Amino acid sequence: MSSQATPTLNLKGIGASPGVAVGHAYILDRKRVRTPKLRLAEAEVDPERMRMKTALDLSDRQLSDLKDQISKTEGPEHALILEAHRLMLHDPMFVDEVNRLIVEDRINAEWAVRRVARKLKHLFDNIPDEYFRERRSDVEYVADRVVRNLMGQVVDEEVVLPDHAVVVSHDLSPADAALMARSGRVAGFVTDLGGQTSHTAIVARARSTPAVVGAGRASEQISPGDLVALDGTRGLILVNPTEDQLALFHETMRRHQEFEAKALEAKDLPAQSTDGFRIRLVGNIEFPEEIQSLLAHGAEGIGLYRTEFMFLDRKSPPGEEEQYRAYRQVLEAMGNRPVTIRTLDLGGDKVPGKGKHEKEPNPAMGLRAIRYCLANRELFRVQLRALLRASVHGNMRMMFPLICGMSELREARSELEACRTELGRAGVPLGKRFQVGIMVETPSAALIADRLAQEADFFSVGTNDLIQYSLAIDRQNRDVAYLYKPLHLSVLRSLKNIVTAAKEAGIPVAMCGEMAGDPVYALVLLALGFDELSMTAGQIPTVKSIIRQSSREDAQRMLDAAMDLTTAEEIERYIRTEMDRRLSDLA
């Protein structure tokens, strides 16, 4: 289709994987199959349970085959997602509840599966952490697979893509995303649903494929064969662009590819500015399997190891031994590189083994993170004992999330010392004393950073929460998401206050939120004086290259000029203009 045949359509979504792509739209229609609703006679109940078992077994075999297929080409981290789907097929919360509905309500298996899936998805709605909230889609993928198998429909139909296809879909399963990315024919992804931590985003970043997610009704507004240009950094989509717009995109693509190649050359070099300021670039991980990718991209350590994955999709929390083995595996894999492990950061009603809870009206500000741990001391102590035991095996640091004041920090440290004493008396081998820091992600912590710095060994700024709490917006709410501004003057002042407090107290200060890995903000963070930035593996070479070819003195001049402005829009426009100029010069 000619780029001038129809008017250009401008769409906006969430930039999930950086880069620019141009290609023709391939619309992947994976609409959910319509679920039949039938009432069963008593004689039909047992045969229906057997149908359910057959569909579960078939689904398990399919996922096992997919896992083997993907692990050979995509690496174990993506295969691990499919293994989690297999575990869900055998989870009593899923299987027993479906069978109960078949027997007691006498409804067909397809209907029962949908009802249970809807109930399980609601369990994720109250989780503050975006990564784990996004796992709602996993329940949908598993349920859809089982229903399709119950109905004898084709599952995992092979998709034959044309070259340079921009895949447009309402949503993508982990298998779809990984298999299509592996084909080498995908120029980019566009999905209606999803966020920075959706499977499409994770797979796209791992394959360095540009992606825009959360684009609303894009799959309905884009037609098969439309020419699509997308910017995975800014979340922009142009459908049937003009010749001038297309030329600009192609030039941007060329510059981006040159810059990426140059950035990878510097991946094993230190992130040090031209005037000698050194920043340590480290990675965020959820699973141990991600370590290989981190090291391949030049990570100097782990700045955020989320421990919540062990607590999900199970009836009882992991014991001390299971947690110890998981932490030990990560520490040993990283050798002498620092590993910062965050203690449990989930909402109270999302910890396994608890009874039903009333849904919190505002979970992001409810009983979560350190608050939950201090309200459930034994659960907290189990994790602390496991961490203390694991500290023997590597260079471990630990941090407490969502600290709002000094009393929480003191209470948490008191529990740690009590566990240390308990293990010492029992003769359990312990490593040397490790640094104990805090996540600075609330306005209260930012405002009293000077006091907290007297008792914390380091700070790690969680910008995702700090920004939304500071600006009083829920970035998952589409009506106000546009107000989420990392360069808002209040945010910059908070960051400056946090860094100043850390420097004056002589403790390191890191950042592990999304802001840390965005190249647009690299010089702002260099100017502020962060000692460490933690991000996804694929972001490290680009940020490192920018820092290595920049002067901190120049970055400070840019930041000073930006902070003389008033509105977030003015500041962002100024920083983006300055960064565009500098990145063009660097590339």
Q: Is the pLDDT of residue 1 over 50?
A: no
pLDDT at 133: 64
Question: Cβ distance 131 to 198 under 8 Å?
Answer: no
Q: Is the pLDDT of residue 355 over 60?
A: no
Question: Cβ distance 56 to 85 under 8 Å?
Answer: no
- How does DSSP classify residue 228? E
pLDDT per position as a tens digit, 376-420: 999 999 999 999 999 999 999 999 999 999 999 999 999 999 999
Greatest Cα pair distance, the chain, in angstroms, is: 81
Mean pLDDT across 532-537: 92
Give the 3-state secondary structure of residue 461. strand
pLDDT at 82: 76
- Residue scoring higher pLDDT (423 or 266): 423
Q: Is the pLDDT of residue 481 over 90?
A: no
pLDDT at 351: 53
Mean pLDDT across 219-237: 91
pLDDT at 119: 85
Q: Is the pLDDT of residue 540 over 80?
A: yes
pLDDT at 78: 59
- What residues contact residue 206 under an 8 Å CB cut-off, 6+ apart? 74, 75, 77, 78, 181, 293, 537, 538
pLDDT at 75: 56
pLDDT bracket for residue 65 (50, 70, 90): confident
Ramachandran assignment for 402, one of left (phi > 0), alpha (psi -120 to 50 degrees), beta (any other): left
Mean pLDDT across 3-11: 71
Mean pLDDT across 6-23: 86
Q: Is the pLDDT of residue 280 over 80?
A: yes
Q: Is the pLDDT of residue 173 over 80?
A: no
Residue 87 and residue 515: Cα distance in Å, rounded?
34
* 512 flagged as catalytic: yes
Element (H, E) at 490: helix 489-505
pLDDT at 68: 79
pLDDT at 356: 45
- How does DSSP classify residue 346? -
pLDDT at 79: 66
Q: Is the pLDDT of residue 80 over 90?
A: no
Using alpha carbons, list the distances in angstroms from residue 510 to 57, 340, 437, 462, 464.
Answer: 47, 11, 10, 9, 14
Residue 140 and residue 155: Cα distance in Å, rounded?
14
Least confident segment among 1-15, 456-470, 491-505:
1-15
Output the six-digit token pair for 545. Answer: 């290259």
Q: Is the pLDDT of residue 3 over 50?
A: no
Residue 551 and residue 523: Cα distance in Å, rounded?
9
Q: Is the pLDDT of residue 115 over 50?
A: yes
Q: Which of 78, 85, 199, 393 is catalytic?
A: 199
Question: Cβ distance 461 to 511 under 8 Å?
Answer: yes
Using alpha carbons, list the distances in angstroms from residue 320 to 323, 324, 334.
Answer: 5, 6, 21
Write out the DSSP string of 285-343. Answer: ESSGGGHHHHHHTT--SEEEEE-GGGGSSSSS---HHHHHHHHHHHHHHTTTSEEEEEP
Least confident segment among 146-160, 343-357, 417-431:
343-357
Q: Is the pLDDT of residue 12 over 80?
A: yes
pLDDT at 131: 61
Output the six-digit token pair for 245. Answer: 């717009």
pLDDT per position as a tens digit, 286-311: 777 778 878 888 999 999 998 887 77
Output the six-digit token pair for 351. Answer: 């910890």
Torsion of CA 198, 199, 200, 201, to 10 degrees: 60
pLDDT at 587: 45
Q: Is the pLDDT of residue 523 over 90?
A: yes
Mean pLDDT across 321-331: 93
Q: Which of 373, 404, 419, 512 is catalytic?
A: 512
Q: Is the pLDDT of residue 262 over 80?
A: no
Q: What percent of the chain has pLDDT over 70?
A: 88
Mean pLDDT of the chain: 86
Which residue's structure tokens are 């998805």?
A: 121
Mean pLDDT across 167-192: 83
pLDDT at 450: 97
Question: If you average pLDDT over each of 79-83, 92-96, 562-566, which comes out highest?
Answer: 562-566
| This prediction's pTM | 0.69
Q: Is the pLDDT of residue 284 over 70?
A: yes
Mean pLDDT across 321-337: 93
* 393 flagged as catalytic: no
- Residue scoring higher pLDDT (373 or 5): 373
